[in-house]
Structures are given as C-alpha cells and as structure tokens.
A and B are shown apart, each in its own frame.
Chain A
Amino acid sequence: MSRRTMSLTAGCAVMGALVLCSTSALAQAGAPIKVGFVTELTGSWAFFGNSCVAGLKMASDEINKAGGVLKRPLEFVIRDNQTNSSQALASARNLDINDKVVALSGPTNSDMSLAVYGYAEQEKLPYLVPVAAFPDLTKPGTRYTFRIEPDAAGWGYAIAKYIEQRKPGAKVAMMHSDAALMRAITAGFRYQAPRSKLNIVADILFPQGASDATVQAAQVKSANPDYVIVSGAGAFDNVMTNQLLDMGIKPGQIIHPFGITTQVFGWGSRSVGSIYGTFFDQGLDSLTKEGKNFISRFDAANGRPPSYVENYCYVTPYIFKEAIEAAGSVDREQLRNALSRLNTKESTSGIPIVFDKNGARKEYMYFMELESVNGKRNYQSKQRFYIEWDPEVIPVYELVK
C-alpha cells in the first residue's frame, strides 16, 4: 500500500471514529432519564394507581414540552404491580436491572410501598413514594426512601388537635376498618386524645369484608358523642356514614380522616356539613394559579376534580426534576443527596416540601367542610382548619409497627 493510500485510510478511520463518538455523545445527550414507576394498574387498588398515573403523565408531559431535565426527556417507566407485594418487588428489581432506572417511585398502597422499600434501601436506589402513609416507610435509619404524603399516625394527631380547638373536652367515637392505614390513624388519635383532653366514648373496629354497621351506629348514637371519626375501607366508609346519618348523627359531627373525590361523591349531599381531612383539594385557600390550572385540566380530561392522590403524583415529576438538576447528574447517590437536601414547594398549593433525616416530609393537613355535592360531577368545600407538625411530634415509629 502506498504512503498516500495509508494516510488516506488513517484519515478516514479517524474521521469515522470522530463521527461515531459525536453521534454517541448526541444520543447520550438526548437519551431519556428513566425513573421506574411501579404502581397498581390492576387489582383491588387499581383505581388509585390509575388515578396516580393520570396525574403523573400530565406533569411529565409538561416537563418534557418545556425541554426536559438536563436537556434530556424525563421518562417514567410504568409497571403494574397488580396490587401484589411479590409482583411489586419483582417489578422494582426488573426496572433496576433491565431498565437501569435512576430512581423508583409509584405505589399508592402502603403494602406495595413497603415491598419496594426493602429493595430500594438494599440496592441504594432513591425511592420517592408519592402516596402511601404507613410510618415505617421512613423509620429511623432510612436513607434512600422519601415519602411525600404525611404519615397516617400523624393524621390521627391532627384530628385530635382539630377537635381540641373546636370543642375542648369533646366526647369522640371512632368507627374504623381493620386495615393498616386505619390502624395507624386511630393509633395516632388514641395517643393524642388524652393529651388534648378528649374522651373516647366508643372505639369500634370492623373486620375486612364487613357489610353492615347498623348495630354499631346505634351503639355510637347511645354514647352521645360530640364527634364521630369514620374511617372505613373502600365502600364500607359510605355504609358507616349513611347508617350513622340514619341513626340521627348530624353531618357536622362526622369527621373523615381523609376524603378523595370518589368518596365525597359517595357520601353525597346527605353529608353536607361533615368534615374531612385532605392534603389537596379544590376548595383550598392556598391554591396557586398552577394548582387551579391543574384542577381544571384534570377535570376536563378525567371527568372529575383531582384529589390529593392525583396531586401528589402530579408533583412527583417536578420533585425529580428539581432534585436531578440540583444534583447535576443522574448518579444515584448524588440524586439521593439532592432529594435529602431539597427545600422547595408544591407548585399546586405552595406547601413546603422538605424531608427530614429519615425521608419523612414536614407534615401538614387541611380540614375541609363539605358545602355541596352535585351528583357525581362536582362538589364544593371550604377550608376550616390547617395544621403543620414535625413527623416525630408523636412517637410514630413506636405507635405503629
């Protein structure tokens, strides 16, 4: 081969290598940042998982239209955990090993969240839980898990503080289902009630699968409480509410620890005047312009206003965006540190988002009074009380195991 030919060949090889490298670099620059989203698309919790995804997709579309994160699209790789703990764990593992996601998120059910929690902590994978209130998700020593929703034992604390300022020395009855969420709420309330000088006059637990609460509603009526905390699993919440109202308990005496849109519609106009706890609602005083925009767009797309479930899933992509940009990279450890240092606000309500050393958020709750219900289409509510508290104002990790 002549020298000229050799030079030409070498030059072409160098040019080719340069082109390949720059193409690869371009491809990397445009490659999506993947976050694994393991949620309940089927099974008993499907409604919440699908509602969550609806909120999530709205936000991720907005972020990507505005240029993405670090000039890369933010992609949520959604997997169905079928409301099954084993499937949740398997999906998380699959996302980590095969899809090489930078973080995990997704479950709206506490049991599913706990199933993924163990894996995330073990594999040092940042895990942002949008909707799950079981306290153990941020027990002492947690490093990679961050929980957006306040813990359920804290809700019980907040209810006690609400009643305390409404009617000091009040008599309170509780009717609740035997589920993890309700156990945590009532544990928190039972802890705080004597400290708030409240008297628990009835504390009735229903097994899962219970159908009727007439007898217990009569027992509660006989105890003559000032307030009744009603916390049923699924449709049983409606059953208890209606049977209490039939028995002569006034709507204003009924407090629901949490209220999502479908529950409010289920309670119906008979429950006008009752109180429910929430973390986001169309009746909030603090709604931002973006929050109102989110509500109207979600309503238009889904035929109902969003509640806190959809809101938490909507703010999740924005939290990831902010943390990844603060980290400057998608390195897992740096992302974890950025989440830990995060000091921001929910764009929809202005509520601060700050995580403590265990990944629990500084906690808060609104109490809304139901003002009207328009069939299954819309409702009006008014904010009556707001409270913030530190996650460990009560011994939450000892109260609930």
Chain B
Amino acid sequence: MSDANLLILLSTLSTGLILGAIFSLVAAGVTIVYGCVWLPNTSNGQFFLLAALVAWSFTSSMGWSSLAASIAVLLLGLLLAMLLELVLIRRLYDTPNRNIAYFVVTLGLTQIMSGIFSLTYAKWSDQFSLPPIIEGLTMLGPFPISNNRLLVMAVSLGVLALLFTLLRYHPYGRALRAVFQNREAAALRGVNVTAIYKLSFVLGSSIIFLGGILFALAYSFDLTVAWTMSITAFAIMIIGGPGSVLGALVVGMIFGFTQAIVSIFASPTAATFSYLGAMLVMLLFRPNGLFKR
C-alpha cells in the first residue's frame, strides 16, 4: 500500500474513532436518561456546549490549563445536574405521560440557555477552542496525529468501556438496566427506582458534559455545535434503541466511520447524507431500534 493510501486509511480510522467515540458518549448519556426516567432531553446539545464554553472561559479569561479547566467543569457539571434534578426533574417523576412534560421542560431549557449564550458568548467571540493538554504529534506510520487528539480518543474509549463495565457488572449498573427494562418488576425486586432515576439523570448529564469537554479539546467550536450535537445524539439514540447503551455505542461508531469512509469516495456533504440515509433504512427494518429494550 502506498504511503498516500496508508495516510488516508489511517486518517479515516482516527476520524471514525474520535468522532464516533464522542458522539457515542453523548448519545449514551441521552439514552441513559431517556431509558430510565423517560426524559427526552432536548437540551442535551446546550449542556454539551455549556461544558465547552465554561472550559473556554476558565482557560481564556482565568488562564487555567485545559486539564484544570476540564476537571473543574466536570465537577461543576455534576453539581448542576444534581441541582437540576432536585429543583426540576424530580417534580415530574410521578406525572402521567411525563415524557411529554419533560420534552416541553427541556425545550424551555434549550431556549433559555440558547438565549443566554446569544447574549454573552456570542458577543465575545465567533469561535472558541481549548489549548491542548498535551502538545506535539505522534507518527503512526506516515500519519501524524496530534497527541491531544490521541488523549481525547483514549479518554473517550476508556469512559465508554467503564460505562459498559458499570452497567454490566456493578450493582448500580445492573439496577439501572433493570429499571430500563421494567421499572415495576425492578421495584418488586427491591430496587429503589426513584434513587435510580436520580443516578441516571446525574450520570447521563455528566457524560454529556464530558463529551462537550472532549469535543472542545479535539476541535474548535462555535455556538452552532449545540444544535448539530442535539440532532445527532437523538438520531443515534433512536436508531440504537431508546434506553440501549450498547445501541448508542454501536450506532455512534457507525456514524463516525460512515462519515469518514464515504467522504473518501464522495464529498463530505455526501457523507452526511449517506449516514442519515443509512439510518432511515435501518429504521424501516427495525423501527424500534437496533437494540430495543
């Protein structure tokens, strides 16, 4: 294989892995919350963006390192998720058809956050980025990849592996899956369903925050990324199967790799249409998702 072809192959693999992992993470966060609480979080894109913007603020205005900013944002995100759950989300746990109520509530959150970003960050800059945590390049054969993107890839895949392990082997993870599958039966088996709701909301939201930070480390971004991410995460959740973390992982990776591979042979625009087309076809054959509950 020539160096040029190897370069393109390796760049395709790295793009597929990084994009796929980040989108899988965010979609996993969305699906955990939906699967447990029946909460279709339409504001997931805004949370994603909030994490990235706050990290940017810490690095650009306060001169923090990206590592310190990332850790701080994760901790703040955890607190914010707990506060939201306490103040807003738990009030609707016992509401009939709460998924519709949650849809409306999170739509409101989307508008509020979007408005705040428009009045603040949109005036300060048209584009944002985080300084790399690790400088330099690593050569994989003829393919140079920045060490920072390697770190993002490693963290994304590592967290996905941890999440999978948690859900499969840890008691809390098994309780989450039990509630995903049948909350009444889980309650009868002694699972504290309300506590699992809280855990799932905080865990899912924290994963979305992490996705935002990782994206900001790998790419420059602007305010439009919230909308793009929201649509993509929902599409991945629906195709993968609402409530299925495995589905989110698999479909997220398919998304990342489809975009990368198709763009070699056609344009990046065609790549975008191709993955959407593939998702429509999958829905025709599996309308409940690839890995339905």
Contact = CB atoms under 8 A, between A and B. Distances in A.
Contact of A212 (B18, B143, B145): B18
Contacts of B123: 46-47, 50
Q: Which of A218, A219, A222 has the most CB of B within 10 A?
A: A218
B127 A237 contact: yes
Nearest to B270: A207
22 contacts: A42-B122, A46-B122, A204-B268, A205-B267, A211-B219, A211-B228, A212-B18, A212-B219, A215-B260, A216-B263, A218-B11, A219-B264, A221-B7, A235-B126, A235-B220, A236-B222, A238-B220, A242-B146, A246-B145, A247-B7, A248-B144, A266-B220
B223 interface: yes
B273 to A, nearest CB: 9
Contacts of A217: 11
B128 interface: yes
B264 A205 contact: no
Interface in A288-306: none
Interface string B180-203: 000000000000000000000000
Nearest to B2: A222
Nearest to B259: A212
Interface string A177-214: 01000000000000000000000000011111111111
Contacts of A209: 224, 227-228, 272
Interface residues of A, number: 40
A234 interface: yes
Contacts of A262: 125-127
A86 interface: no
Interface of A: 42-44, 46-48, 50, 178, 204-219, 221-222, 234-239, 242, 246-248, 262-263, 266, 376
Contact of A266 (B129, B263, B268): B129
B221 A235 contact: yes
Interface size class of B (residues with CB under 8 A): 35 or more
B59 to A, nearest CB: 10
Contact of B267 (A204, A242, A248): A204
A218 B268 contact: no
B187 to A, nearest CB: 41
A266 B269 CA distance: 25
Given A210-B268, A221-B7, A234 B224 contact: yes
Given A204-B267, A235-B129, A237-B127, A44 B122 contact: yes
Contacts of B122: 42-44, 46-47
A393 to B, nearest CB: 30
Contacts of A205: 267-269
Interface in B251-293: 259-260, 263-264, 267-269, 272
B57 to A, nearest CB: 12
A260 to B, nearest CB: 8
B118 A235 contact: no
B14 to A, nearest CB: 6
B7 A48 contact: no
B214 interface: no
B8 interface: yes
B268 A238 contact: no
Given A43-B122, A246-B137, A246-B146, A215 B12 contact: yes
Given A46-B123, A47-B122, A246-B137, A235 B8 contact: no
A232 B143 CA distance: 23
A309 to B, nearest CB: 10
Nearest to A209: B228
Nearest to A178: B269
Given A212-B18, A238-B220, 12 more contacts: A44-B223, A46-B122, A205-B269, A211-B19, A214-B14, A235-B129, A235-B222, A235-B225, A238-B127, A242-B146, A246-B144, A266-B220
Given A214-B14, A239-B220, A219 B8 contact: yes
A221 B60 CA distance: 32
